[in-house]
Amino acid sequence: MNEPPDRDRRKHERYELKRSVRAESAGQEAEGRVRDISASGVALNIDLNLSNNDFVQLHIDTVGDVQGRVARTFEGGIAIAFDDGGVPNRLLDAFEAMKQEEKKDVGGKETDLLLKAFENLDRD
């Protein structure tokens, strides 16, 4: 197993997003939790036996369906690199909706950080 790389080598800032996730790949299906997310991918705490470059379909609570490929594995989980094609826009839409909900409850601090990570992405 490969450990996650140092944060200094990452292309995009990662943000905690503690949401449930369902992952499907190669006939396997498992439930887990999002560890963190960025504009290019997501790290999951999940019990799946996958290899680098395996295709994975994800359903992330409050975000929806996204897909990508295993970028690396680490103890207790996997990291997924999102496939091209609209994923960042859907994530941004989901974070904007979450921010509106959180403003009613806790002030939206978590999604303020997430929106900052995605604010420079082009929207379709």
Tell me: the pLDDT tens digits for 12-42?
667 777 889 999 998 999 999 999 887 788 9
Backbone dihedral region for residue 65 (phi beyond 0: left; psi -120 to 50: alpha; all else: beta): beta
In a domain, 123, yes or no: no
Same domain, 95 and 76: no
Q: Please indicate whether residue 26 or residue 93 has the higher confidence score (pLDDT).
A: 26
The count of domains in the chain is 2
> Chain-centre distance of CA 12, in angstroms?
12
58 and 78 share one domain: yes
Domain that holds residue 19: 7-82
What confidence score (pLDDT) does residue 124 get? 42
73 and 99 co-located in one domain? no
Return d(Cα 43, Cα 37) in angstroms, integer. Answer: 6
pLDDT in tens, 38-85: 778 899 999 999 999 999 999 988 777 889 999 999 999 999 998 875
Return the SS3 of 5: coil
* Residues 66, 23 share a domain: yes
Does residue 36 belong to any structural domain of this protein?
yes
Same domain, 75 and 100: no
What string of DSSP letters covers 94-114? HHHHHHHHHHHHT-SHHHHHH
Both 19 and 44 in a single domain? yes
Burial of 45 (0-12, 13-18, 19+ CB in 10 A): middle
Predicted TM-score of the model (pTM): 0.67
